């Protein structure tokens, strides 16, 4: 009986969704392309109706990926009994430097795309409908600004702390892009002049100090220098087993060297947030990304350090918040992106 009920519920749910989307008559494809996974989904104006994860392991090259995304969107429509409906457009969140106007991804590390015209190819695979792309930081920021922790705010800054550090500056509900579409490169603000080398070639960038990669690297150094028995035990003494997760876990288990690494990362994230607060005076600075999800300990350090650097009248008037949409912020942002470009809202 349980199974029967579930089936009924599923059917009812599908019917409701179908009616709801018929009423709205607007459906979007939304895609979040990450380094190791891709999520595709179908969204209405106010809901993610269904999503599906695509593993990139078995896929060969970029065209294989766009074909698979197109096929997945078709599958999702079928599953929702929406095969007859046409998508109004597809919004795509992608990593790496890109050209939003031309829909070209210049470079992605993990997927090894070089100057790949993802928008044009996906458009071709999906019957010529409108496809727009933006980078993962901007999409996640846009998602949080409209549907997450930044709902109702005019100005906010989104910072994603993950393998790298990125983000978005949101003004009047839109991604502020700057002169070359390069605004919001928060991870490459210099926080410690002549600090650690960054992947960008400079020294002392926030990303080189407080990203997941930087935290993991400092954990590896502890192992190499024999300064943490807990890290050695958690990793079985293997360098390639030490990651940011290891450092957080060791800190939780009382390892003081790892606690210092996390305190430093939080402190520098707080200084970066204070600098952004002084320049942009936003309503909130919202932190998302994998590293932030892991650590309840990082957040109070960031907030207290940021407030330490602010004027009295800014303190507690500029919120430090955690992102609310988890790994869906990019999809929500992709929805807002394509909705705003196809409906001119």
| Contact positions vs its own copies (CB under 8 A) | 97, 154-155, 169, 171, 176-186, 188-193, 200, 202, 267-268, 271, 274-276, 278-283, 308-309, 311, 313-314, 317-318
Nearby residues of 188 by Cβ (< 8 Å), 6 or more positions away: 198, 200, 202, 205, 206, 207
CA distance 61 to 94: 15
By beta-carbon proximity to its own copies, the closer residue of 187 and 333 is: 187
**Angle 59-124-337 from CA coordinates, rounded to 5°:** 90
Residue 313: CB minimum distance to its own copies, A: 7
- Angstrom CA distances, 11 to 8, 75, 81, 192, 278, stand at 5, 17, 10, 57, 52
The label of the residue with tokens 């876990």 reads 249
Please say which residue, 206 or 230, places its beta carbon nearer to its own copies: 206
Residue 206 C-beta: closest distance to its own copies, Å: 10
Q: Given the complex with its own copies, which of 89 and 150 has the nearer CB atom?
A: 150
Residue number, 271 or 292, with CB nearest to its own copies: 271
Tokens representing residue 188 in the block: 């490459």
Task: Give the angle 184-130-67 at the CA atoms, nearest 5°.
Answer: 95
Q: How far is the CB of 259 from its own copies (least distance, A)?
A: 19
Q: How far is the CB of 271 from its own copies (least distance, A)?
A: 5
Give dist(CA 119, CA 105) in Å, integer: 9
- Residue 238 or 317: which CB sits closer to its own copies? 317
Query: Of the two residues 180 and 225, which places its CB atom closer to its own copies in the complex?
Result: 180
H or E stretch covering 294: helix 290-294
Query: Could you tell me the smallest distance in angstroms from the CB atom of residue 189 to its own copies?
Result: 4
Q: What DSSP assignment string belongs to 117-169?
A: -HHHHHHHHTTT--EEEEEHHHHHHHHHHHHSTTTT-SEEEEEEESSSEEEEE
**Least distance CB 278 / its own copies (angstroms):** 4
């Amino acid at each position: 009986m349980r199974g029967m009920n579930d089936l009924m519920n599923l059917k009812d749910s599908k019917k409701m969704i179908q009616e709801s989307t018929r009423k709205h008559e607007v459906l979007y494809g939304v895609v979040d392309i990450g380094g190791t996974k891709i999520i595709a989904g179908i969204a209405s104006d106010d809901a993610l109706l269904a999503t599906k994860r695509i593993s990139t392991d078995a896929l060969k090259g970029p065209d294989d990926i766009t074909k698979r995304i197109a096929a997945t969107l078709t599958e999702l429509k079928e599953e929702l009994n929406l095969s007859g409906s046409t998508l109004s457009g597809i919004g795509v969140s992608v990593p790496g430097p890109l050209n939003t106007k031309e829909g070209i991804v210049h470079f992605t590390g993990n997927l090894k795309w070089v100057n790949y015209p993802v928008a044009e190819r996906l458009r071709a695979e999906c019957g010529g409908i409108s496809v727009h792309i933006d980078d993962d930081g901007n999409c996640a920021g846009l998602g949080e600004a409209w549907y997450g922790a930044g709902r109702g705010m005019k100005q906010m800054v989104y910072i994603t702390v993950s393998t790298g550090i990125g983000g978005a500056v949101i003004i009047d509900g839109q991604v502020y892009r700057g002169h070359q579409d390069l605004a919001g490169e928060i991870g490459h603000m210099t926080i410690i002049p002549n600090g650690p080398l960054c992947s960008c070639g400079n020294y002392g960038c926030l990303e080189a100090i407080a990203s997941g990669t930087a935290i993991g690297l400092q954990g590896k150094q502890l192992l190499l220098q024999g300064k943490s028995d807990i890290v050695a035990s958690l990793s079985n003494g293997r360098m390639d087993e030490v990651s940011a997760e290891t450092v957080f876990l060791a800190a939780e288990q009382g390892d003081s060297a790892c606690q210092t690494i996390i305190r430093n990362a939080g402190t520098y994230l707080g200084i970066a947030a204070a600098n952004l607060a002084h320049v942009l005076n936003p309503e909130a600075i919202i932190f998302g990304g994998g590293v932030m999800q892991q650590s309840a300990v990082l957040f109070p350090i960031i907030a207290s350090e940021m407030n330490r650097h602010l004027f009295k009248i800014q303190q507690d008037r500029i919120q430090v918040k955690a992102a609310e949409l988890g790994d869906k912020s990019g999809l929500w942002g992709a929805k807002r992106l394509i909705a705003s470009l196809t409906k001119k809202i």
